[in-house]
Amino acid sequence: MYLGILPGGQEIAAKRLCRSSGQGVEEFKTEVELVAKLQHRNLVRLLGFSVEREETIVVYEYAPNGSLDRLLFEPELSEQLDWSTRYKVMVGVAHGRLYLHEDSRLRIIHRDLKASNILLDANMNAKISDFGTAQIFSADQTQANTNKIVGTYGYMSPEYLMFGHFSVKSDIFSYGVLMLEIITGKKNSQFFALDSNEDLLGYVWKHWNNRMPSEVVDPALRSAYSVNEVIKCMHIGLLCVQDDAEDRPTMDSVILMLNSNSIKIPVPQRPSFFFPGKKYQQEPCVLDSGPSNSKLDQSINEITSPCSPTDNDLADSGPQ
């Protein structure tokens, strides 16, 4: 991505299709076609494109605060994302996803929602970008299958990763992972790189189930956050990453839960854990309930109490 300035002084972002990137002409056409038709305050706006000889360039509105991952995962920058900004980003992305799923002329499954594909404008408004792998559904279509898995590991839903099934609910899973990353300040892929015995979902679930959610909140927030909002967002994030797609909420339900302090949120079950390149059985996870040690931990019951683990919860949860 390049920063450019038009003759009138307007700053723009120019995306150049790299011949070695693996993104083909069809992906480029898909991206241009989709973004040109989609107009929403939480989607990046297409200004133009150019195809000349072997050069292919698409021009977007410029987002001066860059991508979410740059601010979220770089320690020296993460303090710029206070809790109100993070909450605003989660709500903005949810509205953008609802537009894609239900409110636009097309039903769009993004298939690669992640922190690096969320841009932030001058007012820290979230802009969903990169539609190269998006899939158009007909108005009455709810799901599809593919033999070509595209996207980013760690954000893919279990049914998509293992069987190639994707739907609006697979996008919901990606959104849930993004929510948990925004709350914790940790990349899901960070756990894989550390050869950890759990991923981000398991890490958050363990502390949620032990009623100690404060331990997973990004230290960069320095306790300057709304306790109830953090608990609620963690709760919604875990609900979005449920194994069974039917157990995940729709995006309009997510927005309703984000905007309401009185609606009852369903209790999530423990998500399964998936590990790239590993062929072993996960040891049963022992879920001890420890004492609450902070206002955040004590306030979790103001919204809901996590389910107590059953024998099935403690059984092996690796890929079947």
- In angstroms, rounded to a whole number, what is the distance separating the alpha carbons of residues 180 and 194? 18
DSSP label at 225? S
DSSP label at 67? B
DSSP sequence for 153-191: TTTS-HHHHHH-EEEHHHHHHHHHHHHHHHHH---HHHH
Among residues 69, 82, 103, 112, the one annotated as catalytic is 112
What is the C-alpha R_g of the chain?
Answer: 20
- The tokens for 222 are 């320095």
Q: Is the dihedral of CA 236, 241, 243, 248 positive or negative?
A: positive
Active site residue 311: no
- In angstroms, rounded to a whole number, what is the distance separating the alpha carbons of residues 12 and 162? 39
The angle at the Cα of 141, spanning 136 to 142, to the nearest 5 degrees, equals 100
Catalogue the active-site residues. Answer: 112
